[in-house]
Amino acid sequence: MIPAYLHGFGAYLPERVVANAELAERLGRTSEWIESVSGIQERRWAAPEATVSDMGVAAAEDCLRKAGVPANTLGMLIVASGSGARGFPGPAAEVAARLGLDSTPALDLPMASAGSLFGLALAMRLAETQGDVLVVGAEKMSAVIEAAPQDPNTAILFGDGAGAALVSARPGRWRMLDAVLHSDGKYREDLAFQGTGPLRMNGLTVILQAARKIPSSITEVLGRQNVSAQQVAVFLLHQANLNLLTRVAKSLGVSPEKVFSNVQRYGNTSSASMLIAASEWSETTSVRGPIVFSAFGAGFHWGALLADSAA
């Protein structure tokens, strides 16, 4: 298989900042409680009229501009979102059309939280035949929160935003080495949103499984490539909850500083979060070395992907 490379990332975050104090009042909790159970201080919410596709297009354009790649050269588009406004077509068709693409395959991954990881892993394997593949994760979780009265434990977590990554068989900044993906549908009811009504989350099960499966998938992909967790330059994970990120670091035996976090400022943006994190990290560092991506989400779906600085 011809190797694939990550060329760069992009992101979009809505302007409106929703601080804990605003939610605390509505939910009968305190700002301090929200921060203690999640690490989240504030999140961004999109305007009521803004859509998942609007945010996806903005992140896609940011990524393409930074990578210096015109949209009309893309060989494939993958859009991950668990909060698209309708059943079909998903946001990939609209994002593709608004990027000016009229025959490029555009694939929806209707997956919450783990969607962008699965998109990256697919892109890694498809770049050889498709050319440049743009992976987008876009979520309007505020629409889910506003759809019905929510359990405060759930309502405090989520934010809106989008992230993007460009994957290509052309040599780029990071070489993608390996990926492991897993799913176990017996947990499908433990984290679910039906399109209306409240988001259902069995928090104890989600956290117990995530705290085990994220480190185990990371260990699996590192072991396959003979890389130790201590050698990894940065872990770019789905930004679910700061307490979970800290536990993942502890399980792996690495310093918490190696696990990039921006959940404090953006909350849990589901499938967008890992690529938003990657975009911020890549703009603020020149660190070289192995990078690990990992995510866990509704389904359950989880996995990890290993990349390394290209020579």
Partner 1 sequence: MPDSSRSQRLRKLVQEIAGKPAPEDDQESLFESGLLDSFALPDLVSAIEKEFAVKVPDSDLNPRKFDSIARMDAYLSDHL
Which CB atom, from 146 or from 184, has the smaller least distance to partner 1? 184
Binds partner 1 (CB under 8 A): choice among 213, 274, 281, 305: 213
Q: What residues between 187 and 206 interact with partner 1 by CB under 8 A?
A: 202-205
Which residue, chain included where needed, has tokens 């994002």? 95
Q: What does each C-alpha distance from 164 to 21, 62, 89, 127, 290 come to in angstroms?
A: 30, 8, 20, 16, 20
Which CB atom, from 154 or from 279, has the smaller least distance to partner 1? 154
Regarding 207 and contact with partner 1 (CB under 8 A), the answer is yes
Regarding 221 and contact with partner 1 (CB under 8 A), the answer is no
Q: For the chain, give the number of residues.
A: 311
Binding mask 237-256 for partner 1 (x = CB under 8 A): ------xx--x---------
Regarding 301 and contact with partner 1 (CB under 8 A), the answer is no
Please state the φ and ψ torsions of residue 47, each to the nearest 5 degrees.
-65, 150
Regarding 105 and contact with partner 1 (CB under 8 A), the answer is no
First-to-final CA distance of the chain: 18
Contacts of 215 (CB under 8 A, 6+ apart): 248, 251, 252
Binding mask 41-80 for partner 1 (x = CB under 8 A): ----------------------------------------
- Longest alpha-carbon distance in the chain: 55
Is the distance from CB of 57 to CB of 66 less than 8 angstroms?
no
Regarding 208 and contact with partner 1 (CB under 8 A), the answer is yes
Q: Please report, as ranges, the residues that interact with partner 1 according to CB under 8 A.
A: 37, 202-205, 207-209, 211-213, 216, 243-244, 247
